[in-house]
Amino acid sequence: MKFAIALFAPPHAPSSRRALRFAQAALAGGHEIVRLFFYQDGVHSAASNPVCPQDELDLSGEWREFVRDQGLDAVVCIAAALRRGVLDAQEAERYQRSAVNLQAPWELSGLGQLHEATQLADRLICFGGP
């Protein structure tokens, strides 16, 4: 089965951990993930600057490793990211901001990527929806 996964929740929310575990289990079960789409507060899971206490799970780091290790298509909604200060180098330069906190393997793009993912996938699974 082909899945598209959308994450709406921040990294400290239980649904973010459930989304990651679902994605890991889906691949382990022989399924395909056509795209991960991070939207609303879910964009914080892609940010590279959060520092977690040693006794807490670094979910942003786990997402980054998972996406990189599996070579997944991971898209961060550009409008949601800009609104929340999650910027790659290009957007930081465009808006004259000094901080860059979105790096590979993440890609900024629009909602069209989510729409396309729903067309390519058999199922869209959403975590932490509004």
Which residues are part of the catalytic machinery?
77
| Of 75, 7, 17, 64, nearest in space to 41 by CA | 7
Determine the Cα–Cα distance for residues 58 and 63; give it in Å rounded to an integer. Answer: 9
Determine the Cα–Cα distance for residues 108 and 91; give it in Å rounded to an integer. Answer: 9
| Of 108, 63, 64, 110, nearest in space to 86 by CA | 108
Tokens 């056509």 found at: 34
Determine the Cα–Cα distance for residues 21 and 60; give it in Å rounded to an integer. Answer: 13
